[in-house]
Amino acid sequence: MDYPQAQRAAIDVLDRNFQIIACAGSGKTRVVAARVVNIVRQGAANGIAPENTVAFTFTDKAAAELKDRITRVYQAEFGHVQGLAGMYVGTIHGFASTSCSGTRLRATLRPPRRSHRDSQP
């Protein structure tokens, strides 16, 4: 697929972060999906499975669209979607919730010990 130079840089340059700011319909999701697939490709070359890659967005609707786009780009490039099911694409609060739900959290609260000094001025 043809991308303008700035979009191509956002997809191909993986050694730094990019902030993508653009109006609706400008191709942000398409670029982010292509970047994620590129990250997965580079990870695979280094023995990193797709399920060890996460992609965050702000809303559930945007996450569903991003996941669909990633799947389509990956399918077009590799001819399969094997390994993508375990990759997290969603909101950061959803990721935190999923991460915490598998972990048993326990708080032990004990009342503070009181001594005779606590009652003195």
pLDDT confidence of residue 90? 94
Q: Which CATH superfamily is domain 5-101 in?
A: P-loop containing nucleotide triphosphate hydrolases (3.40.50.300)
Name the pTM for this structure.
0.77
Structure tokens at 120: 């003195």
Question: Per residue in 59-113, pLDDT tens?
Answer: 999 999 999 999 999 999 999 998 899 999 999 999 888 877 765 555 555 666 6
Handedness of CA 23, 29, 30, 36 (dihedral sign): positive
Round to whole Å and give the CA distance between 23 and 97.
30
pLDDT confidence of residue 30? 95
- DSSP string of 35-82, one letter each residue: HHHHHHHHHHHTT--GGG-EEEESSHHHHHHHHHHHHHHHHHHHS--T
Q: In the predicted model, what is the mean pLDDT of residues 46-53?
A: 91
What's the pLDDT band for 18 if we cut at 50, 70, 90?
confident
